[in-house]
Amino acid sequence: MNETRVMKGREKAFSMIITFFVALIFWLLLSAWNKYQFAHGEYEPIRFFRGVFVAFIVTLIAHELLVPARGEKVLLKLQRWILYIPWELYQIVLAAIDVASRVFGLRPVDPRIIEFETTLRSDLALTTFADSITLTPGTITINIEPERGKYTVHAIDKGPADALTVDQTMQKKVGYVFMEEG
């Protein structure tokens, strides 16, 4: 399912154009503060061509990494993924407050290692789920086996371990985003 193939023709042109514009906008955003520092007349428009040159080199080297070969329904997955990020940021804040309460002695420390299986199979879904486990209060990913979707997780207490294996809220959310629920 994840074999690599050489891109030719229209796919290659599409990916190179998208990578070129993303690199050019990134360069402009990083160097635009310099334009307003100096007085008018000291900033020549010829410096814009440095950005075009650098973006061209980046496109030649890395266009296959940034925009891979077309999957299916990419726009719908992108929209659902953007809506998934604020829930992630809320979980980071909860995770830090949870660890702070364990440092000051308000809750016990009783670690254990658990293993479970999921129905996710593609590279991006497995990576997003592993990142989400590390950012949720009380759990860190140790190992992933991509053939069966099996995760080895270190949990710091019984509460977070049960929230991952018994309730399964996060598996449902990531499965909804990448449309691989089971």
Query: Smallest distance from the beta carbon of 3 to another protein, in angstroms?
Result: 22
Window 97-126: residues binding another protein (CB under 8 A): 98-100, 102-104, 109-113
73 in Cβ contact with 179 (< 8 Å): yes
Sign of CA dihedral 97, 99, 103, 109: positive
Please identify, using beta-carbon distances, which residue of 14 and 159 lies nearer to another protein. 159
Torsion angle (degrees, nearest 10) of CA 28, 29, 31, 34? 110
Where does the chain have alpha helices with state H?
A: 10-31, 33-37, 48-66, 74-103, 123-135, 158-162, 169-178
The tokens for 57 are 């080199």
| Residue from the set 17, 69, 82, 96 that interacts with another protein by CB under 8 A | 96
Instruction: List, in sequence order, every residue forming a beta bridge with 62; answer none if it has no partner.
Output: none
Query: Quick check: 149 binds another protein (CB under 8 A)?
Result: no
Please identify, using beta-carbon distances, which residue of 7 and 125 lies nearer to another protein. 125
Query: Quick check: 82 binds another protein (CB under 8 A)?
Result: no
Query: Quick check: 22 binds another protein (CB under 8 A)?
Result: no
**DSSP single-letter state for residue 39:** P
| Residue from the set 92, 115, 148, 167 that interacts with another protein by CB under 8 A | 92
- Please give the single-letter amino acid code of residue 152: T
Query: Quick check: 140 binds another protein (CB under 8 A)?
Result: yes
160 three-state secondary structure: helix
| Residue from the set 135, 173, 180, 181 that interacts with another protein by CB under 8 A | 135
Window 39-78: residues binding another protein (CB under 8 A): none
Q: Catalog residues that contact another protein under the rule CB under 8 A.
A: 29-30, 32-33, 36, 89, 92-93, 95-96, 98-100, 102-104, 109-113, 130-131, 134-135, 137-138, 140-143, 152, 154, 156
